[in-house]
Structure 1
Amino acid sequence: MDNTANPAFDVTKRLRATSPKSVAIHEEAARVMAAEIVGTVEIACPVYIESASGSRLTDVDGKEYIDLTMGFGPHVLGHRPASVEKALAEQITRGWHWGIHNPLQHRLGELLLEAAPCGEQVVFCNTGTEATMYAIRAARAFTGKSVVAVFDGSYHGVHDYALLVAERSSDRRNPAPRRRGAGIPSEILETVAMLPYNDEAAFDIIRENRDRLAAVLVEPVQSSNPRTDIGPWLRELAKVCREAGVLLIVDEVITGFRLAYGGGQEYFDVDADLATYGKALGGGLPIGAVAGRTDVMSVFNTGSERARPIFSGGTFSGNPLTMAAGIAALTEMRDTPDLYPRLNGLGDRLAEAINRHARQHKMPVTMMNAGSMFHLRFAEGQIRSSRDITSRYVKAEHVFYQHLQECGVLVPGIHLAFVSAAHSEADIDAVAAAVTASLDTLRNDGMI
């Protein structure tokens, strides 16, 4: 194939030519690391970041970008907010890890429980993955039942019980799970059921399996399918679970402190038994948490009357540096009345501009958003769930993000993107212009 006549080759070549330091680091890292920490480099030209501030990132080659990654979601206030930076600077003079309890843990816990509609007690851990793993373990211990149900298109971390996807050939209203990747034992399929998302058929499956279901785990907004019309379905799900004696775990790792201060539970008025947190809760530092009803949370307490409490723990769980950052971030979020209306307005402004352009030019593109979190989908027709996303435009999507990078806008490899309080309306308009220009280039090249 003659790459010199290939538009995708052209943009890749230009990006690599202007990113010599990033390219060199990537080649060096490939000799040392089996995989880098996060697989963000789905684009042909890697990017390595040297500094960040507000809505911007600067890479090792000195190129500045408007950032829509926002650390994969934690930076609701933007990069390096003054309140968090001050709290970290003060704490680091006292120490950053002891293992022994510190007085900041219950202070962040109080802030979380004030915000979490289902929160009566909390347990801290280090990641969202740990949080959902612990919540599943707690639900099984509390109910004495073994099976947990997740939804087609969901994402709950990287432990074995979360790494399941639906067989594309299976019935959309009764999806069959399969393991995502190697190394996950087949026995997992005996303890995790899969439900259809945004579909009332899920309610019948829950009722039919009530005697073996410990819990149903759901994202208030699926990261693969962000939307805000899901409230009535979520509230009915909570009602069905309650009537069936099945715990409802709401996974707020992404939506917590992003959709609203009270997360998706507040935004959609959903009653949960347990909720999991991560990302924004730590003010940009690693964190996870499980919050919920006191009776359910009692399974964590080795001093309770329960005969067999669950095991939990972690060397860095509740460490003082993360606690200090989280306290500062949550306090600012709580005390900024216009934060969430403004954030959600910025997200809507961006989605409206891009969708208007796509409609006008009959492009097979939809910007899905739930407030400040959004996902650009290359798909035709109505998108009800992630099953509606086809692979027809995979190459075009791949090249699109390279054009966007060349325009000075960074979106993560997972393509779920975020805006922050540090983004201005001018930033949003610049992103919209970059997205539409990149789409126009794809169309002119015959890719869409």
Structure 2
Amino acid sequence: MTATRQRANPVTQRLRASSPKSVICQEEAAKVMAVEIVGTVHITSPVYVESVSGSRITDVDGKEYIDLTMGFGPHVLGHRPAAVEKALADQITRGWHWGIHNPLQHRLGEMLVEAAPCGEQVVFCNTGTEATMYAIRAARSFTGKSVVAVFDGSYHGVHDYALLEAERSSDRHSPVPRRRGAGIPSEILETVTMLPYNDEAAFDLIRANADRLAVVLVEPVQSSNPRTDVGPWLRRLGEVCREAGVLLMVDEVITGFRLAYGGGQEYFDVHADLATYGKALGGGMPIGAVAGRADVMSVFNAGNGRARPIFSGGTFSGNPLTMAAGIAALTQMRDTPDLYPRLNALGDRLAEGVNRHARRYGMPVTMMNAGSMFHLRFAEGQIRSSRDITNRYVEAEHIFYQHLQERGVLVPGIHLAFVSAAHTEADVDAVIEAATASLDSLRNDGMI
């Protein structure tokens, strides 16, 4: 939907009229920012945040929302959990960055090794993008092979080897990759192959390319296609990779410490060689990490005599503020027995409530969820992979999120959304009420 059509939309007009300070912020930002905010995924109508607490966001206009953005995923415990806030306050009195090693690094490292089923050693960085980039580099060094495999519909960050998608016209059982956006060299396509997600055809492609495949990257739950019925397929994927002599990297940037304390590997009982982390691991502070088998991770150590060590580094990697926040967050997650059953139940309650309404009125809408992660999809028929999503209802989807915003619920546009430990059943029921009313508005306007 173009900006002109968006602003002509009555819902957009009402939102802008009721948010004068956010509109001013947006206009001022547009003078100096290359995009409206810091990335290409954004709220469809301007919301500039003043403060947060628990499950709530308050914007600069004083409007309060039930927040389902949750920082794009890091806030499993909700906004400003007391233990994390205290850890940050205590650490900042001692300093927040000095580059030299600090004892918090190995403490958080020990916790990650304990939590990650494949973890024997870890390396910290600053983002999930860096983590997947380093994991690919490590796999190539360890195996001596150069090609990596990703799945159709996957997301592994914004480096060149990750920003790929399938040609829509290609065979869904043998997808052909294309670059996702400009500025990515065409030569990248020579070192990346694409596999069909949740499809046994992927196994034959792995076997056929095993002699040149260094690693297969997989999200245990795709952010574009959140579901929990993929366990048997994921376990078979691990078996096929081991039989073929190809490393398996599980991307836990989103699922780590959210689906379960041990992430998607624990939840689905998947055996990997490497795993990448971010988001929840840092307790809301910037972080990335690679965990994995000690022999594979040894390539990070240039002093151990390996023939092909890799280079890694980062000014803020392992900084004490992030380490302190991560330790506090993981401690609370680990020591709260009912955290994950409750989180997953809240997500299921939300999906069931919205889907019941959609089925009742024959709406082409499915709320897909994997526990506390969810994505409302506008599509007809069964959704098995991202290939089943078309652009037919793009405008309706954008306007749906504006209707939600007008009703006091904030969802991160066309991005995966989340509930947290700070959300209550009453919050979830309020979201269901807002979502069903928003869908009714779309139906009454003939958009679905």
What TM-score do you get using the length of structure 1 for normalisation? 0.98
Q: In the alignment, residue 383 of structure 2 is paired with which amino acid?
A: I
1:317 alignment partner in structure 2: 317
The CA distance in 2 between the partners of 1:180 and 1:268, in whole Å, is: 29
Aligned position for 1:171: 171
1:318 and 1:18 map into 2 onto residues whose CA distance is: 42
Aligned counterpart, 2:349: 349
Matched with 2:59 is: 59
Partner of 1:379: 379
Q: Aligned ranges for residues 33-432 of structure 1 at < 5 Å?
A: 33-35=33-35, 36-43=37-44, 45-432=45-432
- CA apart distance, 1:178: 0.2
Q: What is the rounded CA distance, in whole Å, between the counterparts of 1:413 and 1:248 in structure 2? A: 31
Counterparts of 1:210 and 1:289, CA distance in 2:
26
CA-CA distance at 1:311 after TM superposition: 0.1
Residue-by-residue CA offset, 1:101-151 (whole Å, 9 max, x unaligned): 000000000001100000000000000000000000000000000000000
User: How many Å separate the matches in 1 of 2:216 and 2:7?
Assistant: 46
Which letter does structure 2 place at the counterpart of 1:80?
R
Could you say what secondary structure the match of 1:108 adopts? helix
Deviations 1:258-292 (A, max 9, x none): 00000000000000000000000000000000000
| 8 Å CA contact retained: 1:376, 1:415 | no
In the TM superposition, what is the alpha-carbon distance from 1:308 to its structure 2 partner? 2.7
Which range moves more in the overlay, 196-205 or 27-36? Answer: 27-36
Kept after mapping to 2: 8 A contact 1:203/1:237? yes
Q: Which amino acid aligns with 1:39?
A: T
Q: Rate the CA distance shift 1:169–1:6 in 2: closer, same or farther, 3 A.
A: closer
Contact 2:251/2:275 (8 A) holds in 1: yes
CA distance in 1, matches of 2:238, 2:33: 44
Tell me whether 407-416 or 161-170 shows the greater mean CA deviation: 407-416
CA positional deviation for 1:7: 11
Q: Is the 8 A contact 2:43 2:411 kept in 1?
A: no
1:413, distance to aligned residue in structure 2 (A): 2.3
Contact 2:41 2:415 (8 Å CA) reproduced:
no
Task: Please tell me the residue identity of whatever aligns with 1:240.
Answer: V
Aligned Cα RMSD in Å?
1.2
Amino acid at match of 1:218: V
Question: Displacement, 1:42?
Answer: 4.8
3-state SS of paired residue (1:77): coil
1:446 alignment partner in structure 2? 446
Letter in 2 for 1:317: S
Q: Distance in 1 between matches of 2:308 and 2:154?
A: 31
Query: Per the alignment, in what secondary structure is the counterpart of residue 183 of structure 1?
Result: coil
Q: Deviations over 1:365-399 (max 9, x none)?
A: 00000000000000011000000001111111111
- Alpha-carbon distance between aligned partners in 2 of 1:359 and 1:259, rounded to the nearest angstrom: 27
Distance 1:40 1:142 in 2: 35
After superposition, what is the alpha-carbon deviation per residue over 1:237-265, rounded to whole angstroms, capped at 9, x for unaligned? 00000000000000000000000000000
5+ long unaligned stretches in structure 1: none
Runs ≥4 in structure 1, deviation > 4 angstroms? 5-8
SS across alignment from 1:148: strand
SS state at 1:14 partner: helix
- The Cα of 1:8 is off from its aligned counterpart by 6.5
Quote the offset at 1:221 in angstroms.
0.2
Q: 2: distance between equivalents of 1:308 and 1:117?
A: 26
| Offset of residue 41 of structure 1 | 3.3
After TM superposition, give the deviation of residue 33 of structure 1 in Å: 1.1
The change in CA–CA distance for 1:237 and 1:8 in structure 2 (over 3 A counts) is farther
Contact 1:141/1:310, CA 8 A, preserved across alignment: yes
Q: Structure 2: how far apart are the matches of 1:71 and 1:7?
A: 26
Distance in structure 2 (CA, Å) of the matches to 1:8 and 1:57: 27
Contact 1:8–1:399 (Cα < 8 Å) also in 2: no
What is the deviation of 1:303? Answer: 1.4
Cα distance change, pair 206–6 in 1 and its aligned pair in 2 (3 A): closer
Q: Secondary structure at the match of 1:259?
A: coil
Q: SS at the partner of 1:350?
A: helix
Q: What are structure 2's unaligned runs of at least 5 residues?
A: none
Q: Which amino acid aligns with 1:37?
A: V
Q: Whole-Å Cα distance in 2 between the matches of residues 179 and 345 of structure 1?
A: 38
2:42 partner letter = V
CA distance in 1, matches of 2:343, 2:43: 28
C-alpha separation in 2, matches of 1:395 and 1:72: 22
1:42–1:413 contact (8 Å) kept in structure 2: yes
* Cα pair 1:203 1:240 within 8 Å, conserved: yes
1:305 Cα shift? Answer: 2.0
Q: Indicate if the aligned counterparts of 1:136 and 1:215 stay in contact, CA closer than 8 A.
A: yes
* Residues paired across the two proteins, number: 443
Q: Structure 2 counterpart of 1:183, which letter?
A: G
Q: Write the distance in 1 (CA, Å) between the matches of 2:8 and 2:15.
A: 11
| CA shift digits 1:185-209 (9 cap, x unpaired) | 0000000000000000000000000
Q: Give SS of 1:51's match.
A: strand
**Paired residue secondary structure (1:258):** coil
Query: 1 CA distance for matches of 2:39 and 2:67?
Result: 16
User: What's the counterpart of residue 23 of structure 2?
Assistant: 23
- Measure the CA separation in 2 of the matches of 1:263 and 1:114: 12
Partner of 2:10: 10
Secondary structure at the aligned position of 2:395 is classed as helix
The letter of the residue matching 1:338 is: D
DSSP 3-state at the match of 2:420: coil
So what's the TM-score if we normalise by structure 2? 0.98
Secondary structure, in 3 states, of the residue corresponding to 1:276? Answer: strand
Q: Any conservation in 2 of the 1:41–1:47 contact (CA below 8 Å)?
A: no
The one-letter code matched in structure 1 to 2:192 is V
- Specify the code of the residue in structure 2 equivalent to 1:393: Y
10-19 or 288-297: bigger deviation = 10-19
Are the counterparts in 1 of residues 52 and 58 from structure 2 also a CA contact under 8 Å?
yes
Separation of aligned partners in 2, 1:251 and 1:402:
31
**Partner amino acid for 2:320?**
P
Equivalent position amino acid for 2:190 in 1: E
Q: Which amino acid aligns with 1:226?
A: P
